[in-house]
């Protein structure tokens, strides 16, 4: 059984020459919304790129960006073709 995902935001997707993919998106998530991850009811976040492509990644990657207000900003997710070896960074 799959667990629910957060479905959020729009951004843009691009592919790097070295076969690593980079997905940029804006994310705004309240602290209460992110609590779903801690409760175990959501394990992944799904964002939609401006190209229409949906990208899913582990909600745990956002943990370092949580504040008392939640999570907000422009982020870049870098990963390989299988969406593994993911790295998330805040751009602004």
Q: What DSSP string describes 24-56?
A: EEEEEE-HHHHHHHHHTS--EEEEEETTS-EEE
What is the predicted pLDDT for the residue at 35? 87
Rounded Cα gap, residues 62 and 79, in angstroms: 15
CA distances from 14 to 30, 49, 66, 76 (A): 27, 10, 26, 10
Per-residue pLDDT reduced to its tens digit, 5-32: 444 444 444 444 457 888 889 889 898 8
Q: Are 19 and 61 in contact (CB under 8 A)?
A: no
Tokens found for residue 33: 């919304």
What is the predicted pLDDT for the residue at 18? 57
The structure's pTM equals 0.72
Per-residue pLDDT reduced to its tens digit, 35-63: 888 788 888 888 877 667 888 888 889 98
What 3-state class would DSSP assign to 34? helix
Rounded Cα gap, residues 11 and 24, in angstroms: 5
């Amino acid at each position: 059984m799959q667990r629910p995902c957060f479905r959020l935001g729009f951004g843009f997707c691009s592919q790097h020459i070295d076969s690593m993919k980079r997905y940029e998106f804006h994310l705004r998530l309240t602290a209460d919304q992110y609590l779903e991850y801690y409760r175990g009811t959501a394990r992944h976040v799904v964002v939609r790129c401006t190209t229409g492509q949906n990208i899913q990644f582990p909600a745990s990657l956002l943990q370092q960006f949580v504040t008392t207000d939640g999570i907000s900003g422009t982020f870049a997710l870098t990963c390989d073709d299988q969406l593994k070896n993911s790295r998330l960074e805040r751009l602004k």
